[in-house]
Structure 1
Amino acid sequence: MDESPAIGIRERARGALRGELADVALRLFEERGYDQTPVDDIASAAGISPRTFYRYFGTKEEVLFGDLPPTSVDLPALLEDHLLRAGPWEALHQTLRHVAENIGTQRGRWSRLLRVVNTSDTLRAGHLEQQMNLAQSLIPTLVPAVEGPAGWSDLRARVLVHAALTCFDTAFSHWAERDGDIEMLEALDIAFTTFSTLDSVQA
């Protein structure tokens, strides 16, 4: 059954308010610092109560990381689909290209977010935890595609996934910190090409 118009409108309104709160929070984090900006201040600046804030975000940290990776697609399912047509490394590449396409038009916002993250030990740790969670969601999908002794498949899949996410993070940082001389997809492609021989783990 199709989603009713009323539900669709409510979801769009919820998404718009989440985006507004994220923008307000990012501005305050830039001005005052992440650790020096309590939820009460974010809520006040956005014209809502702290209680309402927590209806949209479970924590202050989630304001920055709640929509990362920025895609509505199930990434393990997308990886599984790419594995039907490509080896493990290229399948990871194409899966993360989907994420890159979703952020490639918002360099200014991501540059600002990256600067804020780099000023806070709490945020750096949160970002690392998020990457670990993403890795854990992708590894089981990749394991069956990595040929070789069963005892080594899990290890090889872990290495490939973590290397792929490192390529993404490095390309993302390089792109976000520059003034437009390179696009996100181009940076990601260059990063993955550096390790293109990793597909040989299938042999």
Structure 2
Amino acid sequence: MDESIGIRERTRGAMRGELADVALRLFEERGYDETPVDEISTAAGISPRTFYRYFGTKEDVLFADLPPTSVDLSELLTEHLSKLSPWEALHQTLRNVSERMQTQRGRWSRLLRVVNTSDSLRAGHLEQHMNLAQTLIPVIAPQLEGPASSSALRARVLVHTALTCFDTAFSHWAEHESDIEILDAVDIAFATFSNATPETR
């Protein structure tokens, strides 16, 4: 990669992070629905036009970094599928996401509180998960034995169950001041279903 491109990308990433922090603070103080992009831009010292260079919508300020959609899960999952069963590959893929989050419990806790205060944000979060599942199902389905119709159904069940395990573990970890760590929470959530998971190879 050209060094100048790398610098630009790092600068862009830093600016996105700063805008996300400003927006999160305002959402906590005033409410998500009550905080327009103009106010976020003013607080960050930029114009609304510049804001939209970094985020396509106001929702994106929160959802761009909200796990697990903040990383390329299809690529991670494909890598794990070369060595693991589909269920365990999903587990390890989402465990990788968790490793990147474990030092920022306070930030994720704040973000979830904001999401849970807005019907539109909760709906947007659910839509993101549905879209994510649609990208992972075709990756899993070819790894499952049996007729294509059966494999497609089983892939949907596995992917949606895995995302539910992750989301539940993530929410528990972020919302509760307990001794459990995110990696342990994810492992416990997946283990809850592992014995009930059918043979997938």
TM-score, length-scaled by structure 2: 0.95
Give the structure 2 partner of residue 42 of structure 1: 40
Using the TM superposition, give the Cα deviation of residue 165 of structure 1 relative to its aligned residue in structure 2, in angstroms: 0.2
Q: Which deviates more, 114-123 or 8-17?
A: 8-17
Q: Is the 8 A contact 2:133 2:160 kept in 1?
A: yes
1:102 aligned to 100, 103, 111, which one? 100
Aligned partner of 2:35: which letter? T
Secondary structure in structure 2 of the residue aligned to 1:128: helix
Q: Is the 8 A contact 1:88 1:199 kept in 2?
A: no
Using the TM superposition, give the Cα deviation of residue 4 of structure 1 relative to its aligned residue in structure 2, in angstroms: 2.1
Does 1:69 pair with 2:59? no
Give the distance between the partners of 1:178 and 1:116, measured in 2 at CA.
15
Give the structure 2 partner of residue 149 of structure 1: 147
Give the distance between the partners of 2:70 and 2:25, measured in 1 at CA.
25
Structure 2 counterparts to residues 17-166 of structure 1, below 5 A:
17-69=15-67, 74-166=72-164
Give the distance between the partners of 1:99 and 1:33, measured in 2 at CA.
28
Q: Which deviates more, 177-186 or 167-176?
A: 177-186
Long gaps (5+) in structure 2: none
Give the distance between the partners of 1:170 and 1:102, measured in 2 at CA.
17
Give the distance between the partners of 2:174 and 2:102, measured in 1 at CA.
9
Long gaps (5+) in structure 1: none
Give the distance between the partners of 2:69 and 2:121, measured in 1 at CA.
21
Distance change in 2, residues 1:70/1:12 (3 Å)? farther
Give the distance between the partners of 1:142 and 1:70, measured in 2 at CA.
17
Distance change in 2, residues 1:135/1:71 (3 Å)? closer
Give the distance between the partners of 1:162 and 1:106, measured in 2 at CA.
25
Distance change in 2, residues 1:132/1:92 (3 Å)? same
Q: Is the 8 A contact 1:111 1:177 kept in 2?
A: yes
RMSD: 1.5
Using the TM superposition, give the Cα deviation of residue 149 of structure 1 relative to its aligned residue in structure 2, in angstroms: 2.6
Give the distance between the partners of 1:160 and 1:71, measured in 2 at CA.
17
Give the structure 2 partner of residue 196 of structure 1: 194
Using the TM superposition, give the Cα deviation of residue 81 of structure 1 relative to its aligned residue in structure 2, in angstroms: 1.9
Using the TM superposition, give the Cα deviation of residue 71 of structure 1 relative to its aligned residue in structure 2, in angstroms: 7.6
Aligned partner of 1:60: which letter? K
Q: Which deviates more, 11-20 or 73-82?
A: 73-82
Q: Which deviates more, 71-80 or 32-41?
A: 71-80
Give the distance between the partners of 2:85 and 2:68, measured in 1 at CA.
24
Distance change in 2, residues 1:6/1:79 (3 Å)? same
Q: Aligned pairs, how many?
A: 201
Using the TM superposition, give the Cα deviation of residue 68 of structure 1 relative to its aligned residue in structure 2, in angstroms: 3.4
Aligned partner of 1:105: which letter? T
Aligned partner of 2:116: which letter? N
